Amino acid sequence: MLAAVLKAPNQLVLEDVPVPEVGPQQVLVRVRSCGICQTDYKAINGIRTNVTFPIIPGHEPAGVVADVGEGVRGIKVGDEVIVQPSGFCGACRMCRLGLTHYCEHAYVTGGDGPEDVRNGSFAEYVVTGAETIYPKPVGISFDAACQTEPVSGAWKGVIRNSEMHVGDDVVIIGTGGIGLYCLMVARAAGAGRLVAVDLSEYALATAQKLGATHCINPRTTDPRDAVYSILPEGPDLVVEAAGPIEAVRLMVSLLRRGTRWNVFGITTHETFELDGGLMHFLEARMDSSFGTNPEAMIHAIRLIERGLVDPEQAISHRFPLTRIDEAMEVMASPERNKVIINP
């Protein structure tokens, strides 16, 4: 099969490699679509260093079941499916508490987090555990379906972890792929004013189209002052979905009594300061969101199926696997949203 193999930082090579073998309780999926996450881009370019080489990246796939292993039930060859990249044992303490994303024996296909990182979906085929497979709803494209994982992360961050309420004023810092999904989830959940902050006018235009009530570009105005001119009392929720440490510092400067912050975008080990007393007296709260779990995946599938979140509107570019180098060049551009690979 054809696969994009990351052999070292900045060495992503297209190669013919063997189709993975299917073991017990595993499923082989013919990948039809796979989104490029910013974490993939950072791994490929050496920004993210917790990578073991060689590896096939890509952790946002959807496709068709090509084979099933011994003991697999309810899944058959030909099924159109969505793949959750993070697998879990189902038996450890965390799994039994329903916290499968904290599984003590977790693995991930093509992503990062657990120690057990397996080949991902920038390839024609991927093999994964049966517990990570979900039926693709009829009528949803593979491109939209492969975005279930980032949509589920947005739902987990905004709704489950940070407990956004109807009418909350929300600031989204960074409106790339995950920021747009956080914005769409917040809009679907009944956010009041939705303020988008980004350095790219292209990204802000998309955010406005998808429901942002106000847009701020820090290149042209002081973002903190601009937020407070829109929300004089401060925001209820601020989601950092950008990545740079400057975005985190902006996030923690935006608060009022009871403000919730969600650290979503940063993946590098950098530090920032907090005023502990101010947090205490204002009862500010910091959450974060990483990865996904079955609850979040099911909610994301429902949001997409009901048309409350439409990933097609966040997709700006599509490339065949043979042109993945061009896709990575587009990832470096400010004039793009979500980029999809079609193996």
pLDDT confidence tier of residue 231, bands split at 50, 70 and 90: very high
Residue 53: closest CA among 44, 42, 61:
44
C-alpha to C-alpha distances, 82 to 25, 145, 224, nearest whole angstrom: 17, 6, 39
CB 106 within 8 A of CB 113: yes
If phi > 0 it is left, if psi is from -120 to 50 it is alpha, else beta; for residue 232 that is alpha
pLDDT exceeds 90 at position 120: yes
Which of 107-121, 177-191, 293-307 is least confident?
107-121
> Which tokens is 19 given?
């189709």
Q: What is this structure's pTM?
A: 0.96
Domains of the chain, earliest start first:
2-147+314-342 (3.90.180.10), 151-288 (3.40.50.720)
Per-residue pLDDT, averaged over 19-30, amounts to: 98
Q: Is 269 exposed, middle or buried (0-12, 13-18, 19+ CB in 10 A)?
A: exposed
Mean pLDDT score of the chain = 95
Per-residue pLDDT, averaged over 266-291, amounts to: 89
Residue with tokens 């061009």: 326
Residue with tokens 């530090």: 271
CB 311 within 8 A of CB 332: no
Say what the pLDDT of residue 148 is: 98
pLDDT confidence tier of residue 267, bands split at 50, 70 and 90: confident
Which of 57-61, 241-245, 267-271, 283-287 is least confident?
267-271
Which of 37-41, 48-52, 192-196, 286-290 is least confident?
48-52
pLDDT confidence tier of residue 316, bands split at 50, 70 and 90: very high
Say what the pLDDT of residue 114 is: 85
